[in-house]
Amino acid sequence: MPIKRPTLLGITLAATLVVAGGTSAYGQPPAPVAGVTGVPASAAPAKQVTLVTGDVVTATNVDGKPAVTVNPHSPDSLFRSYSVGSDVYVVPLAVQPFLASGQVDQRLFNVTGLIAQGYDDANSATIPLIVRYPKQAAAKAAAPATPAGSRVTRNLPSVRGAAVAADKKQAATFWEAVDDDTAKGRGPKAKLSGGIERIWLDGKVHALLDASVPQIGAPDAWAAGYDGTGVKVAVLDTGVDPNHPDLVGQIADTRSFVPGETVQDGHGHGTHVAATIAGTGAASGGKYRGVAPGAKLLVGKVLSDEGSGGESEIIAGMDWAAHSGAKVVSMSLGGTVQDASDPMAEAVNELTAETGALFTIAAGNSGPEATTVGSPGIAAAALTVGAVDDTDAVTYFSSRGPLTDGRLKPEITAPGWQIVAARAAGTSMGTPVDDHYTSASGTSMATPHVAGAAAILAQRHPDWTPERLKNHLVSTAKTTPDTSVYAQGAGRTDVSRAVRQPVSGPGVVDFGNQEWDSTGQVVKPITYVNDGDQAVTLALTVKGAGGDLPAGTLALGAGTVTVPAHGTAAVNVTLDPSTVASGAYGAHVAAASADGGTVVATAVAFVKDVERFNLSVKLMDIDGKAPASTYSVVWVFDLDTPRPADMYFILGAEGTVDLRLPRGQYAFASGTYRFTPDYNQVRDYVYGAESGVHRDSDRTITFDGRKADLVTVETPKPSQPKRTLMGLTLLKDDRSLGYGLQDGAYGYTRMHAIPSQLKKENLAHRLSWSLSAPELSAQIVSPGAFPIVPEYVDGWIGSARLDGTHVLHVVNAGIGRPQDYAGKAAKGKLALVRRSDDLTSGAQIANAAAAGASAIIIYNDAPEGWGISSYARTPTAIPAMTLAGEQGARLADQAVHGDVMIQLKGTAVSPYTYEVLKHQEGILPDQSYQVSAKELATVDAAFHASTPNTEGGYGRFIIGPQQTFLVMTFARMTLPRSVTEYVTAGAPTLELMSPTPVWEALPAYQQTGLTVLQPGQRVTRTWNKAVVRSAITANHPGGALRNRDAGVVLPVGLLDEATGQLFGYRHNADKELTTVYRDGQSLGSAPSAQVAFPMTPGRAQYRLVTEVQRNQPAWTTSTKVNTAWTFHSAYDGDGEQTTGLPVISIDYGLNVDLNNSLQAQSAVDIHLGFRYPQGLDGLRIAETKMWVSYDDGATWQQAAVTANGDTGATGTIKNPALRGTNGFVTLRVQATDADGNTVEQTVTRAYQLR
């Protein structure tokens, strides 16, 4: 299915965000601001997005590539990720059945698309959804109960559903309520539960006269007595300025559907549109009068003052307008969704049929390319409008058809170039003409011309249906010669002809899609209607639109037709698609009377499909059978199309997907997860890919799992995979086509790769591993020994780990109930219990611990393996393991008949890890990889934490050649710890580290920039080392700058002692506040450490006072940081517009241990480094002072300070005895540079004493 991101339809709209990072020496300049504001989250280097399943994805950009980190809600969650162009999708495996069946909107997992729409977590606390109820539920008096974790924000009867806001903090609860728990066993037959039939993203939709009104003949209609009087026209847009002179007295009713905003137009788009329809021209002496000044307006504000709105708000506005007596509804808005089942398109069709309202909708501004009309303009019942200039030439930006299903859109055009109409007070949309008028271009401007024309025609014929109004307007339009029907429909609106001419016809005769090998003729009638009192004879001609058609392609059944008075007459038009090659074709049938007084235009359209062939993609598992898992997938990539569809399907029982694909080159990829029988854990992942498949005949592609090679990796030291990721990128001429996908598995899952048979050079194949020392091995050391392979209970924290060697006696404890331990002396032994439906694994573990067992093994009650996941936030009370059914049953039998002893060897904390990347062209037959010490670099990493046993997380990206995007998950780790990392050298890499629990919705973390380590290189890396403080990162080029009269300063609220970090992301419990002063006067405050603020042209002193607090149980140092930056700046109008600001950051050098502590009663040297933001040189520190406190700042002692060059100093203090302190040391530093710029920083509990 096509995957496209919603885009802006109004070409005149502009954004005014302050953005950090960018293109100049100091990054992208800030936009003008009126007061102090927190820098929008959309400008932050990283954004977090909570998916509807409760999983949290963090997105950033690395070396020009999108990079996402997945924080799963459930410890056993698996994800598929793939990219299409710049869009990155992260799809939890559990939702795949619902995506494949179309029950859940794929946009809900387009991470980059969600961020672009402002649905990241910093900007939205809820996930906006549109849900549909089953027919039987919707027919009841009351709607189904709202799923847990969500609330209904408005009912949407036109789509048989409601707008629902799912609380991100309860997103997992919501998904659990709507997820059919049997989905994973039912595949394509899976159904949503909780009274929900379908779920869409409530996506954002955007807003998309003197010469133009006469251009469409409106003055002639006025002269005939028709100006829309008695007709209500609804305008669904950004609201209206009701006090504009042109609109006073023209508005019958208003309503705002935008939460927190009145109907007052703070954008300007809606006022311009409303006045184009029914403005009186009062402010211009009638010069800029609208098309139908006699009509009355119903104004629904469905787009915010920023020019965008949710789909549910628009649908609610449509419901209101259609049920409030509007004969015409004007909608100059839209998105790029092209699925006809889109809820906005469905609402148009439903409301048209129910209420008789005609919806005139903008085609969009995504031209001149074909197939660019978006929803709701794709609705069949809509009158979709393109734009022309003052010569009736279609504008370059006007969106074109055909639609993806072959239908013709738009049907009509109207003036949309440099249209002058009312300007809302206080707005500057478009190009202002004066205080009352502004000029704008777009299909947004064309649409109200057609709405006004429809109002005039509805006044002339009040009993006409919307279909009749639509056909009459379209068939009386003026055709622009040599222009495609897919650009103009039948032509430019001619309301003068529409009012006076009694004869009309179908505006469009659409033959739709025709098969490429069609040989038969297709016949459709053109039926003409005459409302006049005299019969009219019409001469008929057909001419190709935008180019001549071969003879015989379209043939008319007659050259003339006489349409009787108050009657109809039909002429057949016959299509022979065999005369043309593949493509979109159109013609205009003109029917004209001899005197030229009657002219009827009909656009005829058809699409000749491309040559297609049958293709079957067959999957076979490693056992030669069809995959048992419902999570098997096939990707199909068209290598000849720049942005082809990325399609995936759940395979049926036969393990085959049958497709009809156009001739061309393709690539295919497959992936199958093999689960344990109870779907608790993934045992195997089987994948394959083929590229350069030529489609020129019917064919079968088979991915035979029996040919797959087990993926293995051998490292210099013993290791086991903690995570294995497979990545594929499609190439052409050694360049990425913008396609990539990534799948993978964790823990004990085995990876199997099916070798590629075709063009390996078109396929970049990557494998990456995170490995650690083997954590568990077991051996029976009593008579009758046989091999056993236990596995730890998995989960957030999972099992408590064994460390060292332990020999334990086995006690058979049945199913692990308390009574099963009676008389068995389990203390200090290894409890062996059988899985049972009567007892949870958590209860079995707890019962074993209560009986005194030192560890427990739970074996499956079925022959095969079995895995357990623990969802607790703490480790199990005792080490807990699982065992395959055969091994467990045999062990239990031995334990009944004799003394069984097992030797367990464990490594609780691995002293080393491997981060390995391998890549190759295609998937080669041998998937055994060896890693030598010569290809590795070594990183001695220290992860500090002030509280023992703190839960945190860490992850590393390694970027392979041709990689289009990056996906990873945090590895959970207990802090503090030190570890030796062995990393593949020569590849760009970056790291992320969270000192707070990564299962939290918004954990704190920091990220490095890109580094490339060399073979044999050894480096040291510290994380979360004291002193953690507020500072601008050393390698952020846009950290502090001004652009004329706007400034932005972007410190990280809590940044650790290392200087390699690129940025930090604050914890959800952090509190930040910054106040900005200019020459001693407050400019305001913002709840953020990163702020934008206004600046004056002349020289002034600015002071930023920031306080950051973190209230998190395990966070005991740097609990509060207060920083005051004072600097001077001026802009005289000459030179560079963007300049750096001399904001001084402090770097601390302190020899703390892993617990961020120093010895009490010891002398301490605290090394201080000072710096400007990157790109600004010349810092010379003139004076440095330091104070120390041992009671959180209640009392202070000044420390001795020695200067170290221009940018450094050393403070020396003597830590007192521990009993004379509160256990912590608070620091205050003050520094002034040679130009009088200062920094004063107080770090409460900077480090602790021991």
- Helix extents (H) in 476-545: 485-488, 495-500
Number of residues assigned to the chain: 1250
* Residue 711 φ/ψ, nearest 5 degrees: -80, 120
Residues 6+ apart with CB under 8 A from 1030: 1051, 1052, 1053, 1054, 1055, 1089, 1106, 1108, 1121, 1123, 1241
> Quick one: how far is CA 106 from the chain centroid?
10
Amino acid identity at 1209 = A
User: Is residue 1242 within 8 Å of 1235, Cβ to Cβ?
Assistant: no
Question: Checking DSSP bridges between strand 988-994 and strand 1005-1008, what pairing results, if any?
Answer: antiparallel
Distance of alpha carbon 720 from the chain centroid: 34
Each residue of 1210-1245: b (16+ CB within 10 Å) or e?
A: bbebebbeeeebeebbbbbbbbbbeeebbbbbbbbb
Contact 1032, 1053 (CB under 8 A): no
3-state secondary structure of 1205: coil
Tell me how far CA of residue 652 lies from CA of 190, 671, 677, 689, in angstroms: 12, 14, 18, 20
- For 494, the 3-state DSSP assignment is coil
Q: Assign 3-class secondary structure to 918-929.
A: EEEECCCCCCEE
Alpha carbons 895 and 782: distance in angstroms, whole number:
11
Cα of 1145 vs its chain's centroid, Å: 34
Alpha-helical segments (H) within 1114-1164: none
Nearest Cα to Cα of residue 476 among 456, 461, 493, 455: 493
Q: Are strands 1163-1171 and 1181-1189 parallel, antiparallel or unpaired?
A: unpaired
80, 741 contact by CB (below 8 A): yes
Sign of CA dihedral 506, 508, 514, 518: positive
d(CA 1102, CA 1139): 15
Question: What tokens does 1207 get?
Answer: 């940018």
Backbone angles phi, psi at 499, to 5 degrees: -75, -40
Strand spans (E) along 381-433: 383-388, 412-415, 419-422, 431-432
CB crowding 991-1025: b at 16 or more within 10 Å, else e: bbbbbbbbbbbbbbbbbbbeeebeeeeeeebbbbb
Instruction: Match 């025609």 to its residue by tokens.
Output: 457
Q: Provide the annotated active-site residues.
A: 237, 269, 444
| Structure-derived torsion over alpha carbons of residues 373, 377, 382, 387, reported in degrees to the nearest 10 | -60
What one-character-per-residue DSSP string does 142-158 give? SPPPPPTTEEEEEEEGG
Can you tell me whether residue 278 is helix, strand or coil?
helix
**Tokens, residue 508:** 């469009």
Q: Which of 558, 555, 540 is nearest to 594 (CA)?
A: 540
- HSE at residue 219, side-chain half, CA atoms within 13 A, is 11
| C-alpha gyration radius of the chain | 35
Torsions phi, psi of 152, nearest 5?
Answer: -80, 125
Distance of CA 741 to the CA centre of its chain: 16
